[in-house]
Structure 1
């Protein structure tokens, strides 16, 4: 199929290419109604599609927004189910606003600036970076960090109420009579998403005047495979544990798989709670009790905040924190 060009439309309409461009882009103050109608009719009949690159050049904007995620190394990019869910929602929100999404893996934090410049990005969403990495950013293109507790004003973004999520997860299990509850998640420092979930988890014990032992921490990667490995050895490594709070659904589902493989019923012997409320949580067996975060709203808010900066509009000076809630399913039961 031969591509119809701006010149083709101009020749058929008997006007200049500039006039056609003005009509297409809405700059019609100096174009007669008759010419506007003629150009629009020919555009429709010929199926003309404006060049995105040409329109971007005219607007001095690439209309490209990067989604930058950490890469395990220079040759691979592994997306967690949570990241995949956010990616899909961000792409949809950007498409509705006339922007395009570029996914880029970042092996080293100093590649962020390189990616912004080399691809002429109008802005970028950062997902999954450590807070200290976000803290160190110094870029001129607008960026926004999702799920970050960084104080870098350049990257002020949106996150879920991780503290409250950890608190209600533990409170649910405590309410069922569990006291020996394992906290399972990746290693963490004194800031960040996992730290906040851990602090909320401990707060639930404090609220009830109960003590909790730091020996009930399992440091594992946030993957199904790592969760399964933990589930396989859980009864040997943590014999007193009657419940597990995993900081991500995919990890919790892996834990359940490992427990079942070793003949430990869930929730008959060990109850499990996750975090995210991914679609997968409602179709595994048993269906996973989890802390739900509003991923569609988080993605839409991230796009709104970033484009406010891109388009030189006001943007909140503080991160936006979204509510979470517990979704009770089949993976938890009374002690």
Structure 2
């Protein structure tokens, strides 16, 4: 592997000059800089990242903590974060952990021991008071799309989940639907700890519409859960004409249940999801959903984390607005659908 000394010999300059060129520091003429970079490329020079991290006192690595990677939403997040981090000269370690996941907490602890420079933590992970027993006190953390219990620090980049629920309800109401089903994550105590559900339910209530408790089914944020919930909703004696699933994979599960039961979407049932995963555009029919602009959210999250790592002032918490993508899975309610 070529060293700066090899480059210096080939370019006819000192190793110090090569170091200045490669680090972007010092005063070096344009001609010399061009010659050094030419030989660095020809010799296949690769910087020693370990040595660089020792000099800077940083590893150049950030951590990304997610509740799971089974949901395509988080796969898309990983891809976006990796590329944004790479542009910033960083690499990413990924770990998954849920609220009661002891092994996941140990994995996070191991990640922190590898001296990451900062951490991006997503909603669905353990609350702050748990994570703060694992991470070092001075480790910069940015909380992303936080919807769970517990207060987060001022370093957060959020999405207006409540508004997302509102938009879903308003869309379905505007189509004439009045009997609704919901597929959501349900906590062990029977509660639904999600702003997206609150926004949906309270918007319906403002229009004089209540949800039959029997038409609120757990989906546990996975497609199979959405499918099971969809079967229960659609075989109810008085089934809903529209379903709001609080994420896209559960909505896709509901659509699969409808197909198995011989129901046509949107003729017999309108379905709305939330996330706008790439797959939502390719279901049959394409899924109407609430859009989370993942690229914009993660770009701001990484910028905020970098500012915190550098000790710079950070912007106040940001709240990204929800938007609705109307596709083929929703339609006007008609009596013929019953």
Q: TM-score band (shorter)?
A: 0.7 to 0.9
Tell me which stretches of 4 or more aligned residues in structure 1 moved more than 6 Å.
31-35
- Native 8 Å contact 1:220 1:227 kept in 2: yes
Q: Give the C-alpha shift of residue 331 in structure 1.
A: 1.0
State the secondary structure of the residue aligned to 1:202. helix
Partner deviation per Cα, 1:156-213 (whole Å, 9 max, x = no partner)? 31121100100110111112121111111111499x9952111101221132233333
| Residue 69 (1) aligns with residue 71 (2) | no
Using the alignment, how far apart are the partners of 1:206 and 1:41 within structure 2?
Answer: 68
Q: Give the C-alpha shift of residue 28 in structure 1.
A: 1.9
| Residue 232 (1) aligns with residue 231 (2) | yes
- Native 8 Å contact 1:188 1:195 kept in 2: no
Aligned match of 1:185: 184
Q: Give the C-alpha shift of residue 143 in structure 1.
A: 1.1
- Native 8 Å contact 2:180 2:244 kept in 1: yes
Aligned match of 2:171: 172
Gaps of 5+ in 2: 334-338
Partner deviation per Cα, 1:223-269 (whole Å, 9 max, x = no partner)? 11222222233322463311110011111011101111111221122
Q: How many pairs are equivalent?
A: 322
Using the alignment, how far apart are the partners of 2:21 and 2:251 within structure 1?
Answer: 56
Aligned match of 1:75: none
State the secondary structure of the residue aligned to 2:214. coil
Using the alignment, how far apart are the partners of 1:33 and 1:233 within structure 2?
Answer: 71
- Native 8 Å contact 2:280 2:286 kept in 1: yes
Using the alignment, how far apart are the partners of 1:34 and 1:249 within structure 2?
Answer: 55
- Native 8 Å contact 1:56 1:63 kept in 2: yes
Aligned match of 2:19: 21
After superposition, residues 113-192 of structure 1 pair within 5 angstroms as: 114-130=109-125, 133-138=127-132, 139=136, 140-149=138-147, 150-153=150-153, 156-188=155-187
After superposition, residues 244-283 of structure 1 pair within 5 angstroms as: 244-283=243-282
Aligned match of 1:96: 87
Using the alignment, how far apart are the partners of 1:24 and 1:189 within structure 2?
Answer: 56
Aligned match of 1:52: 49
Partner deviation per Cα, 1:287-323 (whole Å, 9 max, x = no partner)? 1111111111111111111111011111134x31101
Using the alignment, how far apart are the partners of 1:295 and 1:34 within structure 2?
Answer: 42
- Native 8 Å contact 1:277 1:293 kept in 2: yes
TM-score normalized with structure 1 length: 0.86
Partner deviation per Cα, 1:258-286 (whole Å, 9 max, x = no partner)? 11111122112221111111221111101
Partner deviation per Cα, 1:64-109 (whole Å, 9 max, x = no partner)? 01112236xxxxxx43111111111111111111111111234436
Gaps of 5+ in 1: 72-77
In the alignment, which of 80, 87, 103 is matched to residue 78 of structure 2? 87
Structure 1 residues 16, 269: closer, same or farther in 2, change over 3 A? same
Using the alignment, how far apart are the partners of 1:311 and 1:113 within structure 2?
Answer: 23
- Native 8 Å contact 1:116 1:123 kept in 2: no
State the secondary structure of the residue aligned to 2:65. strand
RMSD: 2.6
